[in-house]
């Protein structure tokens, strides 16, 4: 299995106002599934192409198991990239497409045929070998594109927006397929996505990239519970930020004094309260008196706009618990200390 | 669908073959006077004259084919990269470049040729085969570039990156990915180019100065001197490439084919 070390990766395109990628460093454990997450145009595809050996960085290094792969061609580095569009070669059959990389390496025809058959059954399309790409559905084409990469037994698999061209049901099927293949084959995999939910569901760790810069790298849970900055917190759906000051385990702000989880840094800070962590009802600690301004039913949850003194808070609660509330009602809420988090 | 295709095939034959029948009959006419519907005396003499060294038709055939092939080759070499640039990329001044490429189709060829003549005299290109080849590029190159630009507009260059990532060398990418996608377009453009060059009269006459005797020039001499029989025989030879190309491509032009598209997205 192959671990990936990316250090100080920069890419500046000629005539571009901003670097596409600036100083990206990541240590990716062997056999893991990593998401490069960010809005389109943030530099994540550039990073993928550099790791794939299709693009030279302006500076920095990419190493597999500690040895640099910069300047190596894709067939020697062992990294294979699968693009957002399936890009099947239209003049070849499905089987020829899947066997493309092996026939470029001049393997014996019989071995190629055997491995293609194995791949076709792995992606659950055992009978489609003789078909033309134009006869495939979008989901089938995407799976063939994946098989075309996996047949090479890559050390590193790079997927660019693997699910973005699929509709909702195909998307979850493809997601499960990627996850199970990645687990069973143990291929260190990096995929690029703009979809926060996709990254959370699929990845072992997420690298959040904005404007070519790495904002945070870690397990999905950390982005919800321990975001590094307000930008990261907002990207992951946090929406209540209250400026104040931390002193002796208490946070003093327009909401009064709130008890914090242990070991929070002292000094001026911003308190993050995630909407789903605001509880209805009173509790021994951190209880506040709120007035309900408005209520929006969203199906699986209900969104409440609350006024606490001068401060507006947005809460997301169980629809049944909020069913009888009316606008203007005064209600107690509490903020469990262990759910609070301080941002710089 | 099948019936429609059969009807269109019949129409095509009427369209192309019927006008040629009088010329074909003339090429075997010994004596054919008005108002007879067919020649009074049949003869193979027009053909034996046309194929003799005296008429110069055979050497002219080789010259015409040589010029057309050279023009085609140069058009492909220039047209494919130019079409790729215009089809795939946007850049400053692209509209201007497109206009300049189209201009030779818009401006009448004879006007250009007369202007070029003085330039070519200065360069010593007048009355030379090289000069004729160069001047034939004026009407042919725009077609080649336009066809290739259309082919590349439908082509996703990421397919090349994908092939590289799957371990293909640059040469293999060209051989197995780029070429199969654009070859049908190159073939269509090359055939166009060949036929347009093959059919040039005015440009050849102006720049070749009568020294470069291509087939249409020879044929026109017999037209002017009223020798319909010899004209008929030469015309039969002259239309050969067009007929051959039509036969070779009929399947591609009428059937479901990727002849004019690259990779569908």
Question: CB neighbours (10 Å) of residue B68?
Answer: 24
Nearest Cα residue in chain B from A90:
B263
Nearest Cα residue in chain B from A151:
B166
Nearest residue to A138 (alpha-carbon basis) of A84, A71, A100 = A84
Please write the tens of the pLDDT for every residue from A201-260. Answer: 999 999 999 988 999 999 999 999 999 999 999 999 999 999 999 988 899 999 888 999
B118: its two tokens: 């003085």
Let me know if A256 is exposed, middle or buried by CB neighbors in 10 A (0-12, 13-18, 19+): middle
Most A CBs within 10 Å: which of B162, B170, B178, as the mutation test of the A interface?
B162
| Cβ atoms of residues A22 and A215 within 8 Å | no
Please write the tens of the pLDDT for every residue from B154-187. Answer: 888 899 999 999 999 999 999 999 999 899 889 9
Most B CBs within 10 Å: which of A69, A77, A83, as the mutation test of the B interface?
A83
**Tokens 């397929």 belong to which residue?**
A177
CB-CB neighbors (< 8 A) of B164 in chain A:
54, 73-74
Q: How confident is the model at residue A143 (pLDDT cuts 50, 70, 90)?
A: very high
Interface size between A and B, measured as CB pairs under 8 A: 67
Q: How confident is the model at residue B2 (pLDDT cuts 50, 70, 90)?
A: confident
CA dihedral sign of residues B148, B154, B155, B156: positive
Of A49, A91, A101, the CB nearest to B166: A101
ipTM exceeding 0.95, yes/no: no
Please write the tens of the pLDDT for every residue from A278-304. Answer: 999 888 889 999 999 999 999 899 999
Residues A289 and A311: their CA atoms lie apart, in Å, by 11
A149 touches chain B (CB under 8 A): yes
The whole-number pLDDT of residue B261 equals: 41
The whole-number pLDDT of residue A240 equals: 93
% of chain B beyond a pLDDT of 90: 45
Residues A301 and A284: their CA atoms lie apart, in Å, by 25
Distances from the Cα of A276 to the Cα of A224, A240, A253, angstroms: 11, 11, 21
Residues B57 and B235: their CA atoms lie apart, in Å, by 11
CA dihedral sign of residues A221, A225, A226, A229: positive
Q: Please enumerate in sequence order all residues whose Cβ is within 8 A of that of B10, keeping only pairs 6 or more positions apart, or say none.
A: none
B256 touches chain A (CB under 8 A): no
Give the CA-trace dihedral at B256, B257, B263, B265, to 10 degrees: -10
Q: How confident is the model at residue B256 (pLDDT cuts 50, 70, 90)?
A: very low
B133: its two tokens: 């080849």
B200: its two tokens: 């040039």
A105 contacts B177? CB cut-off 8 A: no
B91 touches chain A (CB under 8 A): no
């Amino acid at each position: 299995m192959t671990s990936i070390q990316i250090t100080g990766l920069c890419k500046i395109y000629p005539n571009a106002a901003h670097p596409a990628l600036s100083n990206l460093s990541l240590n990716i454990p062997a056999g893991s599934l990593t998401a490069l997450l960010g809005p389109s145009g943030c530099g994540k595809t550039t990073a993928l192409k550099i790791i794939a050996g299709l693009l030279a960085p302006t500076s920095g290094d990419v190493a597999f198991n500690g040895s640099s792969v910069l300047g190596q061609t894709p067939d020697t580095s062992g990294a294979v990239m699968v693009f957002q569009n399936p890009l099947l070669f239209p003049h070849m059959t499905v089987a020829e497409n899947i066997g493309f990389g092996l026939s470029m390496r001049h393997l014996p025809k019989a071995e190629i045929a055997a491995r293609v058959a194995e791949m076709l059954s792995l992606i659950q399309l055992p009978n489609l070998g003789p078909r033309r790409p134009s006869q495939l559905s979008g989901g089938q084409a995407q799976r063939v594109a994946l098989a075309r990469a996996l047949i090479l037994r890559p050390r590193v698999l790079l997927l660019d927006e693997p699910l973005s061209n699929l509709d909702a049901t195909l998307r979850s099927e493809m997601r499960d397929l990627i996850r199970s293949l990645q687990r069973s084959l143990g291929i260190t995999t990096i995929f690029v996505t703009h979809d926060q939910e996709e990254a959370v569901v699929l990845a072992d760790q997420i690298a959040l990239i904005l404007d070519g810069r790495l904002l945070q790298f870690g397990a999905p849970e950390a982005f919800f519970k321990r975001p590094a900055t307000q930008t990261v917190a907002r990207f992951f759906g946090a929406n209540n930020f209250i400026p104040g000051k931390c002193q002796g385990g208490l946070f003093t702000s327009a909401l009064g004094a709130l008890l914090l989880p242990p070991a929070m840094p002292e000094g001026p800070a911003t308190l993050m309260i995630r909407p789903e962590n605001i509880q209805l009802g009173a509790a021994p600690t951190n209880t506040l008196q709120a007035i309900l301004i408005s209520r929006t039913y969203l199906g699986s949850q209900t969104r409440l706009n609350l006024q606490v003194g001068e401060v507006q808070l947005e809460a997301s609660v169980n629809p049944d618990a909020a069913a009888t509330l009316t606008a203007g009602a005064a209600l107690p809420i509490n903020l469990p200390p262990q759910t609070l988090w301080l941002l710089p | 669908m099948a019936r429609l295709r059969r009807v269109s095939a019949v129409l095509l034959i009427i369209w192309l073959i019927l006008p040629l029948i009088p010329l074909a009959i003339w090429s075997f006419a010994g004596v054919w006077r008005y108002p007879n519907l067919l020649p009074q005396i049949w003869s193979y003499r027009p053909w034996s004259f046309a194929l003799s060294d005296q008429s110069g038709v055979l050497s002219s055939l080789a010259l015409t084919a040589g010029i057309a092939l050279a023009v085609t080759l140069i058009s492909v070499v220039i047209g494919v990269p130019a079409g790729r640039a215009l089809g795939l990329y946007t850049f400053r001044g692209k509209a201007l470049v497109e206009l300049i490429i189209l201009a030779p189709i818009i401006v009448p060829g004879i006007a250009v040729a007369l202007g070029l003549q003085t330039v070519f005299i200065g360069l010593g290109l007048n009355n030379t085969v090289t000069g004729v080849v160069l001047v034939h590029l004026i009407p042919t190159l725009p077609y080649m570039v336009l066809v290739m630009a259309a082919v590349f507009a439908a082509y996703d260059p990421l397919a090349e990156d994908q092939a590289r990532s799957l371990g293909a060398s640059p040469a293999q990418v060209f051989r197995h990915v780029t070429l199969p996608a654009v070859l049908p377009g190159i073939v269509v453009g090359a055939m166009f180019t060949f036929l347009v060059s093959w059919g040039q009269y005015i440009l050849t006459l102006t720049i070749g100065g009568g020294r470069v005797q291509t087939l249409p020039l020879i044929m026109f001499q017999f037209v002017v001197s009223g020798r319909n029989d010899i004209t008929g025989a030469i015309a039969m030879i002259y239309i050969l490439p067009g007929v051959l190309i039509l036969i070779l491509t009929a399947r591609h032009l009428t059937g479901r084919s990727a002849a004019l598209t690259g990779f569908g997205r």
